[in-house]
């Protein structure tokens, strides 16, 4: 029997309080990844990849939100290298993956297209936010923090830290899977 492993991904990107500065674009600056074993019902590993932005800088607002500074992300890898690491070290092209909502998938698609970088993931993506709403029969989709409260799970670590958020989403994924509603929601 093969083990069903899943990559849970959460990204943080450059952001601003208000309008995007002229010439800047929102770029991924942190990729959080938690490996979940759906059969064992366990989170196996927590990873963090810092990414050096090329067309924007980390604003004061972004630092307040994520805790990341420009100096910290300057030590990161290029976006292309981050995608290579996802593919080689985290088997992103082989494993199905999930995120909370569709933002992360769309951000990767857009940034890969804008930079000419190969998309690191396969086509089996799950929007865990959508399935959580179905599992709990909610009329309104919840943010990650609110969903943890509904599920009776603690918020572990810092909210808006990609690695911590991926870990927390991993707990929600296991809750959803335990309710027998887990499935891929995007197959492109």
Average pLDDT value for residue range 143-170: 98
> Residue 188: its pLDDT value, please?
60
Facing residues of 125 across strands?
97, 186
Write down the domain spans for the chain.
5-187
Measured at the CA of 141, the angle between CA 47 and CA 6, to 5 degrees, comes to: 30
pLDDT at 3: 67
In this prediction, residue 185 carries a pLDDT of 86
Average pLDDT, stretch 147-156? 98
The pLDDT value given to residue 2: 55
Write the DSSP symbol of residue 77. B
Class of domain 5-187: alpha beta
Task: Using the Cα atoms of residue 145, residue 76, residue 33 and residue 27 in order, give the sign of their dihedral.
Answer: positive
- On the question of pLDDT at 11 being above 70, the answer is yes
Residue 186 pLDDT class (50, 70, 90 cuts): confident
Query: What are the tens digits of pLDDT across the range 30-57?
Result: 999 999 999 999 999 999 999 999 999 9
């Amino acid at each position: 029997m093969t083990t069903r492993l899943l990559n849970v991904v959460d990204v943080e990107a450059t952001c601003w309080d208000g309008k995007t500065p002229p010439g800047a674009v929102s770029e991924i600056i942190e990729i959080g990844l938690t490996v979940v074993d759906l059969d064992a019902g366990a989170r196996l590993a927590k990873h963090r990849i810092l990414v050096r932005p090329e067309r924007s800088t980390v604003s004061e607002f972004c630092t307040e939100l994520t805790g990341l500074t420009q100096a910290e992300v300057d030590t990161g890898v290029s976006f292309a290298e981050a995608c290579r690491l996802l593919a080689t070290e985290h088997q992103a092209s082989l494993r199905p993956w999930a995120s909370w909502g569709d933002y992360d998938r769309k951000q990767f698609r857009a940034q890969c297209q804008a930079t000419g970088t190969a998309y690191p993931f396969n086509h089996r993506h799950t929007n865990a936010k959508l399935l959580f709403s179905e599992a709990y029969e909610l009329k309104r989709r919840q943010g990650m923090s609110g969903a943890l409260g509904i599920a009776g799970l603690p918020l572990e670590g810092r909210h808006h830290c990609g690695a911590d958020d991926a870990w927390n989403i991993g707990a929600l994924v296991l809750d959803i899977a335990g309710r027998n509603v887990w499935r891929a929601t995007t197959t492109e």
